[in-house]
Amino acid sequence: MKNVIFLAPPAAGKGTFSDYLVEKFNYKHFSTGSILRENAQKNEKLKQILESGELVEDEVIIPLIENVLKSLSKEDKFILDGFPRTLQQAKKLDIILSGLGVLDVVVVSIDVEKETLIDRVIGRKVCSKCYKSYNTNILEFKPKVMDRCDDCQSVLIKREDDNQKSFLVRYNTYLESTLPIIAYYKEKGCLQVIQNTELEQTKALEQLRSVIK
């Protein structure tokens, strides 16, 4: 199995794909959004940036990623979910990974139409404790008991940034800053693209399994 970097617009399915890989293949999953949301509980400035949908500064995010990658052992396989988001971050990540001797990486770009993304953002709820993601608009992602996590039974909440306004900021940031990285990784020869529209969830997971081998 290869190490995985997900590149995707908001609510494309990075979290769901990551949960699947963790469960099935025991990957170590690092979601920069989840880590930052946890840190934001004690940091008002960070909380405001996250709510607005803007990117946090590299001075915050790069040491964070460096630390989590350094904490891994040689046998661990990792998923980066939410990093890199800019070309500058991608170049910095190359330096970190080559310093750690990590070579086998696949970059998985998840492609979803904008209208579908908006629907998902509006219906998304996350567990307040384990951060597992649900969706009240999609049958297969509804919790078994309303507003309760299937795994830990904690209450489900809405993310502060899961509204139309913040979505549009995040989506535009994705187009401007993250899309250029796709070309960068394509050139390097490690890019794979997966379509993840509603009807193709099972097919998408099948594709995912084949590209990480």
By beta-carbon distance, which residue lies closest to ligand ADP?
33
Selected binder of ligand ADP within 21, 36, 108, 212 (CB under 6 A): 36
Residue 178 sits in the site that holds ligand ADP (CB under 6 A): no
Candidate ranges 31-39, 70-78, 180-188, 205-213; the one touching ligand ADP (CB under 6 A) = 31-39
Please, which of residues 115-174 interact with ligand ADP by CB under 6 A?
170
CB nearer to ligand ADP: pick between 198 and 210? 198
Which DSSP category does 94 fall into? H
Smallest separation, CB 174 to ligand ADP (Å): 8
Contact segment (CB under 6 A) with ligand ADP among 17-25, 29-37, 69-77, 95-103 equals 29-37
Backbone angles phi, psi at 16, to 5 degrees: -65, -45
Count Cβ atoms below 10 Å from residue 73 Cβ, excluding itself: 6
- Collect all residues with Cβ–Cβ distance below 8 Å to 90 and sequence separation of at least 6: 84, 181, 184, 185
- Nearer to ligand ADP by C-beta: 32 or 109? 32
Beta strand ranges found along 66-169 (DSSP E): 78-81, 105-111, 124-127, 133-135, 156-157
Q: Which residues pair with 4 in a beta bridge?
A: 79, 106
Q: Which of 30, 53, 92, 131 binds ligand ADP (CB under 6 A)?
A: 53
CA dist., res. 206 & res. 133, Å (int): 20
State whether residue 213 is helix, strand or coil: coil
Give me the least distance between CB of 32 and ligand ADP, in Å please: 3
- Residues ≥6 apart with Cβ < 8 Å to 83: 5, 30, 32, 61, 65, 89, 93
Stretch that binds ligand ADP, among 51-59, 93-101, 107-115, 201-209 (CB under 6 A): 51-59
> Among 76-84, 91-99, 102-110, 201-209, which window interacts with ligand ADP (CB under 6 A)?
76-84
Residues that bind ligand ADP (CB under 6 A): 10-11, 32-33, 36, 49-50, 53-56, 61, 82-85, 89, 170
